[in-house]
Homo-oligomer: A and B are copies of this chain.
Amino acid sequence: MIHVAVLGYGTVGSGVVEVISTNREELKNRIGDEVQVKYVLDLREFPGSSIEKILVHDFETIVNDDEVDIVVEAMGGLNPAYSFAKASLEHGKSYCTSNKELVAKYGPELLKLAEEKNSNFFFEASVGGGIPVIRPLNECLTADKILEICGILNGTTNYILTKMSREGLDFDTVLKEAQELGYAERNPEADVEGYDACRKIAILTSLAYGKHIDFEDIYTEGITKITDVDFKYAAKMGRVIKLFGKSRQENGKTYAMVAPFMIDESNPLYSVNGVLNGILVKGNMLGDTMFYGSGAGKLPTASAVVSDVVEAAKHKGETVRQIWSAQKLELGEFKDYTGKFFVRVKGSEDELLEEITGLFGNVEVFHADGVTGEFGFITGSMKESEFASCAEKCRGMITRIRVE
């Protein structure tokens, strides 16, 4: 019998209890042993619920019970998750978590501790919700040098952008609707400012290269400045706007950023819509491969957490190799990142084009249906720093969005 304790009985935690109960037979078959939830830790009471008898309010009960093999954490935040993780691992228990803040900040330290104790620190659900991507990076894409990772990593922003694209609505209207439907938090900052995607691309990139990226070093731009007019240009160009977390190798350095990008249908992420997530990984031998599915939601996320429980149960007493050292991964300077830009300017093409080509070189001009008094253009490939210095001099510039 494998005994599990679940920390936090919110959406994901209660999902974990449900998955373990619903798929009891499948889990037994996969592991060769039964899984039982012995404790649920939560500060609240749940009178009359099925977990009433296993509910505890005190972490000490769990960490000091030698029968508990695996601790599942679904609380989020750094405190007390960090101290719970350390204590669990120090007691030789495996720790499975969906907590991206914890993983992005303390991943290397907790992996090292797990290794010292012959246990495991797993976090499949911390990126891409139910989509398998952490374990595939560790155990499938192992013959390749990873050249690029590009993901739609946040379901809330993808829902908002998809809805803006399809219905021509502005950002504030759609955000409000998303909040009412429960797709966006009351305080949506972590999603719409790109902070959530930033932690996720930091985790993926650290795992791909085996060294640590401090997520605070990643240039991060959210979607709050994207307007319905931007989508009118996108439609004209056969493009959509997606919030990407991406990293790539160039001249031996790693460049990473979170920002909205305009992409066309040749990009496999083009058709990743609504709350779904997609993660594209480019290997030097494999080429492009994409993982696609539910990036959030109670049961998909819980399914990923429970797949970690299965893996921990199958590897009781031995650490599965995951390479992510505390050594810092050298990030290229953001100003050297190269790409194309879509720019909107006030004024007429006749009046401004010569000046613009003088600044940016040859550009491709676009006029959106029903939009007057301005036009848009796409630059050639240029460095962020070059673009910034041209943009400063560009008369009437309204906005810019990166293009891929």
Contact = CB atoms under 8 A, between A and B. Distances in A.
Interface of A: 19, 22-23, 26-27, 29-30, 32, 124, 130-132, 135-136, 139-145, 210, 265, 268, 270-271, 283-294, 297, 299-300, 302-307, 309-311, 314, 321, 323
Contact of A136 (B27, B30, B132, B303): B132
A135 B131 CA distance: 14
Contacts of A19: 143, 285
Given A271-B268, A286-B294, A289-B294, A304 B131 contact: no
A287 B323 CA distance: 30
A303 B285 contact: yes
B144 A140 contact: no
B292 A292 contact: yes
A43 B297 CA distance: 55
A247 to B, nearest CB: 16
Contacts of A303: 143-144, 283, 285-286
Contacts of A323: 29-30
A131 B145 CA distance: 15
A323 B142 CA distance: 22
Nearest to A277: B289
B284 A23 contact: yes
B311 A139 contact: yes
A294 B299 contact: no
Contact of A289 (B26, B130, B270): B130
B132 A140 contact: yes
Contacts of A143: 19, 23, 26-27, 302-307, 309-310
Contacts of A265: 271
Contacts of A309: 143
Contacts of A286: 130, 293-294, 299-300, 303-304
24 contacts: A19-B285, A23-B284, A26-B142, A26-B143, A27-B143, A29-B210, A30-B323, A132-B289, A135-B136, A142-B306, A142-B310, A143-B307, A143-B309, A265-B271, A268-B271, A285-B299, A287-B297, A289-B292, A289-B293, A290-B291, A290-B293, A291-B291, A292-B292, A314-B321
Nearest to A293: B289
A23 B307 CA distance: 30
Contacts of A283: 303
